[in-house]
Amino acid sequence: MVTSRPAAQSPAAQSPAAQSPDRQPPDGRLAAGSAGLKRLQLAMAAAGLGAFAMLYSTQALLPSLGAAFGVGPTVASLTVSVTTGLVGLTVLPMSALAERAGRTRVMTVALAVACAGVAAGAACTAFWALIATRVLVGLALAGVVAVAMGHIGDEVEPSAAGRAIGLYVAGTTLGGLAGRLIPAAVEGLGGWRWSMIALGVAGGLCTATFGCLVPPSRLQPGRRPRPGIGAVRQHLRDPAIVRLCAAALLLMGGFVAVYNYLTYRLTEAPFQLPKSLIGLIFLAYLAGTVTSTLAAGVAARIGRLRTMYGSIALAITGLALTVPGHLPSVLAGLLLFTTGFFGCHATASAWVTTRARTAKSQASAVYLTAYYAGSSIGGTLIGLAWTHGGWTATALSVGACYAAAACCITGIREPAGAAGPGG
């Protein structure tokens, strides 16, 4: 009589931890596919959505704000540049504060204060008062953007970190979209003041969602190491991180300038679009949402450097298509430009975070300092090109920034196997 023996199981199949979707790595990080990771991703997406909706809440309103307060395009753009500039200046101090007080606590309070600042902007009767509220919003939102990507990098196992950061970036693109579409839609019904109130309410809903979903951190504030300025210096000694930060500055400066001044261009001949329709151009942000989620997979296949080169080339191609005075060409170009930008940003931000073996929050803060400095500087200075040379000069200025960014990343080496999420 022949008896059958059970087939030998592979070690992976014998291991319950390998089969369980809720397995937890020995260091306490959230594992790929776990319920905790899914909660964190949803919470961080809500934080990104709310923060970036409020950060750019005045961009779609620039022509209306200029008319209401009697200021030109470059001065009106300060309602965006001042806010993003303060984010860039304060991400490092906010990162240090979050290490002491607790990251999730700092992010929750920051979102709540930003909601109040945005809503208060609706009551302003002088331009300087509006700028003051934008200062408050910038200081508050630094507590979110300074912490978010580093928090994900510290809480999630390396093999899942790249995709988790990509999903957070996708949430920020949806926030950027909401921050433009909501004001554009509400302005047509009740004016720019009601637009600001609507965004304050939307930000409050995102804050509540974040507070309910975010899991406890694996390290309590008292047990978390405090790297301080020494960690920042360590990251700045890495030439690759410095080059990625320089590229982020140039790319973001050009990106914000395109969206700042394209709204003005589309109100003029030969387009002369109504403001309600101009707000719809920000639907191009949806391309950034898709790109941000796919960038990690593309980088894993072809490498991060090639992914960034391809994204920059795509952005420059799209920029060229915005120059002719034909609306279909402008819209197609904006779509390609947005896709290219977010491909670069998602790849570069994940690269910096995963390259840093320690003090990931500080590495993320260094990157974001450059990123938002670019938003503030480029978003305003390229306005001079718009004022004196129109859209052609603006596009050339942005194109030069993107070509310079490609030069910055040239020569960065990727160790074997580093192209994946955990590299």
- What architecture does CATH give domain 35-213+228-409? Up-down Bundle (1.20)
State the pLDDT at residue 226: 55
Q: Is the dihedral of CA 244, 249, 253, 254 positive or negative?
A: negative
Tell me the CA distances in angstroms from 395 to 41, 78, 102, 337, one per residue in order.
Answer: 36, 20, 43, 11
State the pLDDT at residue 377: 92
State the pLDDT at residue 198: 94
Tell me the CA distances in angstroms from 258 to 125, 213, 251, 398, one per residue in order.
Answer: 28, 35, 11, 8
Tell me the CA distances in angstroms from 379 to 145, 247, 249, 291, one per residue in order.
Answer: 19, 15, 11, 23
User: Do residues 142 and 113 make contact, with C-beta atoms less than 8 angstroms apart?
Assistant: no
Amino acid at 96: A
State the pLDDT at residue 415: 59
Question: What is the C-alpha separation between 297 and 310, in angstroms, rounded?
Answer: 14
Tell me the CA distances in angstroms from 173 to 32, 56, 186, 287, 360, one per residue in order.
Answer: 23, 11, 20, 9, 22
Tell me the CA distances in angstroms from 56 to 29, 161, 195, 312, one per residue in order.
Answer: 33, 27, 12, 23
Question: What is the C-alpha separation between 342 and 307, in angstroms, rounded?
Answer: 11
**In which residue are the tokens 């050009």 written?**
254
Environment class of residue 274 by beta-carbon count within 10 Å: exposed (0-12), middle (13-18) or buried (19+)?
exposed
State the pLDDT at residue 169: 78
State the pLDDT at residue 241: 92
State the pLDDT at residue 3: 47
Question: What is the C-alpha separation between 263 and 69, in angstroms, rounded?
Answer: 18
State the pLDDT at residue 227: 54
Take residue 380 and report the two structure tokens written for it.
Answer: 């305003």
User: Over the range 172-209, which residues count as b (16 or more CB within 10 Å of their CB) and which as e?
Assistant: bbbbbbbbbbbbbebbeeeebbebbbbbbebbbebbeb
Instruction: Choose among 325, 348, 345: nearest CA to 337.
Output: 345
User: Where in the chain are the domains?
Assistant: 35-213+228-409
Instruction: Choose among 378, 376, 366, 365: nearest CA to 405.
Output: 378
User: Do residues 397 and 382 make contact, with C-beta atoms less than 8 angstroms apart?
Assistant: yes
Q: What letter would DSSP give residue 268?
A: S
Would you give per-residue pLDDT tens digits along the chain (423 residues)?
444 444 444 444 444 344 444 555 656 677 776 888 889 989 998 999 999 999 989 988 998 999 999 998 889 999 999 999 999 888 888 877 887 888 889 999 999 999 999 999 999 999 999 999 999 999 999 999 878 877 887 888 877 777 788 788 788 878 888 888 898 889 878 899 999 999 999 999 999 999 999 988 766 655 555 556 777 777 888 899 999 999 999 999 999 999 999 989 998 889 988 877 888 888 888 888 788 888 888 988 999 999 999 999 999 999 999 999 999 999 999 999 999 999 999 899 888 888 877 767 678 888 988 998 999 999 889 999 999 999 999 999 999 999 999 999 998 887 554 444 333
- How much is the pTM? 0.77
